Structure formats: structure tokens, C-alpha cells
Amino acid sequence: MSLTVVGSIAFDAVKTPFGERPKMLGGSAVHFALAASFFDTVRVVGPVGEDFGDAELAVLEGRSVETADIERVAGGQTFFWSGVYGWDLNERETLATELNVFAEFEPKLSEQSRDCDVLFLANIQPELQRQVRDQCRRARFVALDSMNLWIEVAKQSLEAAIADVDCLILNDAELRQLTEQPNLVRAAERILEMGPSVVVAKQGEYGSALITADGFFSLPAFPLADVCDPTGAGDTFAGGFVGYIAAHPDVAISHDLLRRAMAYGTALASFNVQEFGTERVARLTAAEITERVAQLGRITQFVDVPLTLRD
């Protein structure tokens, strides 16, 4: 079985109160692929420029990510993003966004990528997401991520893309913006009416929420004493969540399976934020993930001991 991700491959320049990196590997497809690689074979589809070298490829290939569908554009420069975080790491200021080769990106999927069992449509133009979805009709589970920009400038196309996938992953503000609903539950209900059977709301340092027809489930973010850089945390979460589903090809996609997937996504995202960019996840071990998921289970479980309450 295999998992295909289509999205950005980038260089990021990031400054936080805890340090800075003038140029580091990033992009939605990269963060997703590194996380998902712990669960299944991952094929990455996205463009890079001539400045993207062997050292960057080695980060992905070091996790056995399939890179044959990474398109190197002759004479081009790789997508670049620069930003600054303050003490509130939920807020960031974008200093520069240079699309470069990503501006003319037209996804080119090999037969192996089209024949995926699970597909993740990372945050790219909705029309491109629809084109990729049409090429991967065999996929049994398709998840889609997006952002406020596409809600503002391409809402109709985005809604058409959402209607054709199984799972929508957005932050809670984007869900409310997209549906024009006042709270998360109402927004998720509206999305379920549009076509997806699974809605995941990313809530930053507060964790994430899962909504399906079978109910609501929420997990806090894993408690950390030190957080260095949140860049890529959402895509890392998605990689763990979708990757866990991909690792169960013969299991029905139930609410219980999705709850467990949420735990693995949460654990992987917690590692991502401990260092800059891909630094921590690139050297992560399976044993570390397993232990953190177990820790998450212990801190989120309680047993009720009923007592008689006063009227």
C-alpha cells in the first residue's frame, strides 16, 4: 500500500524568541511526509528549483520517502517563506512569500502515485486539489487541508474540492470562516453536510478536535515545557493522523480508529515544535513516538467515581 501527498516543498526562514534559522527545509508536503513515513510508504509530489540539493533530498530519503515525483524545474528557485513569531507562538508575522516554481505548479503524478491507497491534498490551490483527486480515484481515504486565502479568493472551487474528499482538516477559525457558523460544532456539522465524513479542527496549543456522524472527540496538545518553533506542526499532525489510517488498510475507518489516529498526530506534532523546522522529526524514532502516545493516553484518561450531588 502507499500514501501520496501533493503540496509545497519549501525553504523557510524563521525567527522565534528561542532562535532563528535563515534557511531551513520546510513546506507542507515535507512536514507531512516525514511524519507519515512512520506508518506507510509515502510518495511526495511537488516542485523544487535548482537550489534544492542532495542534502535536502537526503532528509526525506533518510525516512525512506519516495521522491521520484519531486519535479526539479530548470533555472527555477524553490518556494520560499519567511516569518517571525513573538512570545505568543500562535501568532506569526509573514515577512516574505516567494512562490517561485510553485507559481506555475501543475501536479505530475506517476502511475505509482496515482495508484495510492490514501491521498493527502495539502494546502495548494483548490483547482489543483480537484485535478489531483480526479487522478486518484482508487484511494479509499482522501484528506484535504486548506487556508483562509483560498476561502477568500476561491471559495466555490474549494467547496467543490471539499465535497469530493473523505476528510477536511482546517483550523477552527478557518472552519467558521468557510461555513459562516458561530462555533466549531455548527461549522463541522455544515461540513459534514457538504460531503466529507470526517472533520478535524486544528487548535494550535489547545490541541485538536474530531467530528464525525458518530460523535465529537477532542485531545489537548501534548504538554511541553519548551516549545521552539511551531512551523509545520499542523502538517506534521496531519501526517501522523492520515499515516495512521494508511497503516490500517484492512480496517474499517471508524470513529475509534480516527480517535487513535488523532493521538498519533498529536504526538508527532509535539516533537515537531521542540526544534526548528524538520530537525526533530527527521531524527525521531518509532520508540519515542510510541512512548509519547502512551503518555498522552495517561494524561487524558480518568475514571469517574459518581457521588450524590446537592440539588
pTM of the model: 0.96
**Is 304 contained in some domain?**
no
- Domain count of the chain? 1
**Is 124 contained in some domain?**
yes
**Is 46 contained in some domain?**
yes
Which residues, at least 6 apart from 278, have a Cβ–Cβ distance to it below 8 Å? 24, 25, 26, 30, 31, 34, 59, 232
Q: If you search the block for the grid coordinates 460523535, which residue do you land on?
A: 215
Q: If you search the block for the grid coordinates 503518555, which residue do you land on?
A: 295
Average pLDDT score, the chain: 96
Range of the domain at 162: 3-299
User: How many other CB atoms are there within 10 angstroms of residue 2's CB atom?
Assistant: 17
**Is 311 contained in some domain?**
no
**Is 308 contained in some domain?**
no
**Is 305 contained in some domain?**
no
- For residues 153-158, give the mean pLDDT: 96
- For residues 265-281, give the mean pLDDT: 97
- Asked if pLDDT for residue 1 goes beyond 80, the answer is no
- Asked if pLDDT for residue 133 goes beyond 80, the answer is yes
d(CA 32, CA 30): 5
**Is 210 contained in some domain?**
yes
- Asked if pLDDT for residue 47 goes beyond 90, the answer is yes
Q: What is the pLDDT of residue 250?
A: 92
**Is 310 contained in some domain?**
no
Q: What is the pLDDT of residue 262?
A: 98
Q: What is the pLDDT of residue 90?
A: 83
Model confidence pLDDT, tens digit, residues 191-240: 999 999 999 999 988 999 999 999 999 999 999 999 999 999 999 999 99
Q: Can you list the alpha helix ranges (DSSP code H) found in the chain?
A: 28-36, 54-61, 111-114, 126-135, 148-153, 155-162, 172-179, 184-194, 233-246, 255-272, 279-282, 286-299
257: closest CA among 167, 145, 144, 133?
167
Model confidence pLDDT, tens digit, residues 88-122: 888 899 999 999 999 999 999 999 999 999 999 99
CATH of the domain at 249: 3.40.1190.20
Q: How far is CA 256 from CA 148, 199, 260, 289, in A?
A: 30, 14, 6, 19
Per the CB < 8 A criterion, the answer to whether 114 and 136 are in contact is yes
Model confidence pLDDT, tens digit, residues 190-205: 999 999 999 999 998 8
Q: What is the pLDDT of residue 275?
A: 97
Q: If you search the block for the grid coordinates 470513529, which residue do you land on?
A: 255
d(CA 123, CA 144): 8
> Which H helix or E strand runs over 17?
none
- For residues 113-135, give the mean pLDDT: 96
Query: Which residues pair with residue 159 across a beta bridge?
Result: none
When pLDDT is cut at 50, 70 and 90, the band that residue 79 belongs to is very high
d(CA 211, CA 29): 24
- For residues 300-304, give the mean pLDDT: 92
Q: How much of the chain exceeds pLDDT 70, in percent?
A: 100
Per the CB < 8 A criterion, the answer to whether 66 and 41 are in contact is yes
Number of helices and strands in the chain (H, E)? 12, 13
- For residues 35-39, give the mean pLDDT: 98
Q: Exposure pattern of 227-257 as b/e (b: 16+ CB <10 Å)?
A: bbbbbbbbbbbbbbbbbbbbbbeeeebeeee
d(CA 41, CA 43): 7
Using a 10 angstrom Cβ sphere, with 0-12 exposed, 13-18 middle and 19 or more buried, the burial of residue 38 is buried
